[in-house]
Amino acid sequence: MISAYRIGELRLTEDVEVTLKCFYAGKCGNTHATLDVLQQLGASLNQTSSLEMVDLMEHPQLAQEYNILALPTLLRVAPHPPIRLVGELSDLEKVRTVLQLD
Amino acid sequence: MARVPSGVEGFDELICGGVLPGQLVLLEGGPGTGKTLFGLRWAATAAAAGNKASVVHFEELVEGVLCNGKAIGLDLETLIASGQLVIDSTVTSDETVVLENYTFDALVMRITAAVETHGATLLVLDTLDSLYGQFSNATSVRSALNRVFNWLRAHGITTIVTGEIHERQPAQLDIAAYVADVVIRLDHRVSNDVTTRRLRIVKARGMSHGYNEYPFIIDERGIVMAPVTSIQLNNSVVQSYYTTGSEKLDAILGGKGLRRNSTVLISGGPGSGKTILGAMIASSSVLRQERVMVFSFEESPDEYVINTAAAGSALGEARHSNLCTIVSTRPTFWGIEKHLIEMSRAINDFAPEVVVIDPISSLKSAGSLEHVHHMLVRMIDFLKSRSISAVLVSAQSDDYLRTLDTDIASIVDTWIHLWMELKRDESTRRLRVIKARGQNHQEGSYDFSISDRGVEID
């Protein structure tokens, strides 16, 4: 039910399976730069990892299910424990650092 | 006009039964003042009345909210199971990093979903302030809240919002206070080591309401307002009388004894016999098969029974046959409001015809004179509204025109003062009826003695 798609080719050498979900709402002003960064992020992930894009306009009930308040929210579902990154994404390195992907 | 009651005992009466449907209510107060419990009570009341209610919590996990409810006797789980109530929490234990530039579309979606999907007519948002703590962009938070409030108003949803009171909060952040139709301020303060909780209705659009600060307590039965003095003096007078247990005293009082549903004050110094006289009035009541409740602040129930039995009181047997209940509490154990609330509860449960409070003067150690006075006025009002005859015993030195009792004296119907006169080596007990409203009482003072038949006037 989630409108999910993968972004880019995966080429990380690590074996860790990373699951990311990015929540946004339609065409908000702050999604453009975010989408760019997500492109790059997806491209840097390994084969077993995934990055899902979740449009809350289409699936409003997921806001409660994943406890989302502000948009965009990038949620690292796996590995545990979860990490949330709230706000416009503009710097890939910072995103990777916060989500502890390096 | 339909009302949305909070279900808080004693509060809805202050605003004529509840707020108006669709109104936005702000419950404001510092930490620990009872905002959350007040909000939960409101939601549970709506849900239990067959309406649908939603709670969106910004500070506690759902389990925590359920636990809070349980602490004040609310079975929220049952209401949730029966589909009357939903609780959503935005609290997360996930590590969260907040960058710049975000919107609150998800928040707005969740709140509207909490209402629309569930079909709620009442929504509780608790506490919006925590959004300001989580998200530094206050403008963004405010505009989201504005959207939410406008949407709720347009949809006629009765909304209860809780808010912290910040001493130095910039006024523009205090959005709810401007938008709200009803603002209720809760606080608690400590004076003389005793904590008192108070509530004030700061504003209430479209309805009349009381302007005072009203005391309340929070315990396992929820938030309970202390009985409030009725606005109008409209207690009806019953033209029937009951005996004090002494024909001579009845005669001094004008021939018929004490008027029913009236308040009699018995004052006197230590050892003057005031407790004996109070117990005699109570005892003669149980002999007529009337129910008597005694609040004793200085003696245990057994002590009270044994000490008054020597003067012929039948309260001991009456306790066994459940005609009489004696409640003993240390005055310092509670604040004055808690005393008032516990006493009124006990009275409601036991439904006595006569209540003895012995002595009211010791309540001074539970609060200031002014508090004690207010409390007694409310207690007397409460008893009259329930057609209960009251006997107030008070320790009182002979300069009785100066202290506590003179305040109380103006509101009691009958005042009997006892004292001892020392003449040479002999002491004589004396008694005088200072006032007896509506009765032709004798003005003089009388000698009396205490025997196993109680107070005997010579």
Kindly identify which residue of chain A lies nearest to residue B89, measuring between CA atoms: A67
What value does the mean pLDDT take over residues A87-93? 85
What value does the mean pLDDT take over residues A59-63? 88
Q: Is the pLDDT of residue B386 over 60?
A: yes
Strand partners, B111: none
What pLDDT score does B114 carry?
Answer: 87
What value does the mean pLDDT take over residues B116-122? 93
Q: Using 50, 70 and 90 to split pLDDT, how confident is the model at B318?
A: very high
| Cα–Cα separations (whole angstroms), residue B381 to B15, B96, B227, B303 | 20, 56, 9, 29
Strand partners, B190: B195
Q: Is the pLDDT of residue A95 over 60?
A: yes
Q: Using 50, 70 and 90 to split pLDDT, how confident is the model at A10?
A: very low
Size of interface A-B (CB pairs under 8 A): 86
Q: Do A70 and B117 touch (CB under 8 A)?
A: no
pTM for the whole thing?
0.74
What value does the mean pLDDT take over residues B222-239? 70
What pLDDT score does A38 carry?
Answer: 83
Residue-wise burial string across B81-114, b where 16 or more C-beta atoms lie within 10 A, e elsewhere: eeebbbbbbbebeeebeebebbbbbbbbbbbbbb
What pLDDT score does B166 carry?
Answer: 66
Q: Is the pLDDT of residue B212 over 70?
A: yes
- Which tokens is B49 given? 């009345």
Mean pLDDT for chain B? 88
Q: Is the pLDDT of residue A13 over 50?
A: no
Helix (H, G, I), strand (E, B), or coil: what is residue B218?
Answer: strand
Residue entry with tokens 């005393």: B339
Kindly report the nearest CA distance between residue A7 and chain B, in angstroms: 23
Strand B354-358 with B324-328, pairing: unpaired
Dist CA B390 CA B412 (whole Å): 9
- Which tokens is B4 given? 């949305």
Q: Is the pLDDT of residue B320 over 70?
A: yes
What pLDDT score does B30 carry?
Answer: 87
Dist CA B80 CA B452 (whole Å): 62
- Which tokens is A59 given? 């699936």
User: By percentage, how much of chain B surpasses pLDDT 70?
Assistant: 92
Helix (H, G, I), strand (E, B), or coil: what is residue B144?
Answer: helix
Query: What residue type is assigned to position B286 of the chain?
Result: V
Is residue A72 within 8 Å of A30, Cβ to Cβ? Answer: yes
Is residue B283 within 8 Å of B313, Cβ to Cβ? Answer: yes
What pLDDT score does B176 carry?
Answer: 67
What value does the mean pLDDT take over residues A29-55? 79
Option in A64, A86, A90 nearest B102 (CB): A86
Q: Using 50, 70 and 90 to split pLDDT, how confident is the model at A11?
A: very low
What value does the mean pLDDT take over residues B395-399? 70
What pLDDT score does B31 carry?
Answer: 85
What pLDDT, in 10s, does the model give residues B132-184? 888 888 888 888 888 999 999 999 999 999 988 766 555 545 666 778 999 99
- The segment with the largest mean pLDDT, out of B189-193, B306-310, B329-333, is B306-310
Q: Which residues of B touch A (CB under 8 A)?
A: 88-92, 94-107, 109-110, 113-114, 117, 131, 134-135
Q: Lowest mean pLDDT: which of B87-101, B231-245, B266-280?
A: B231-245
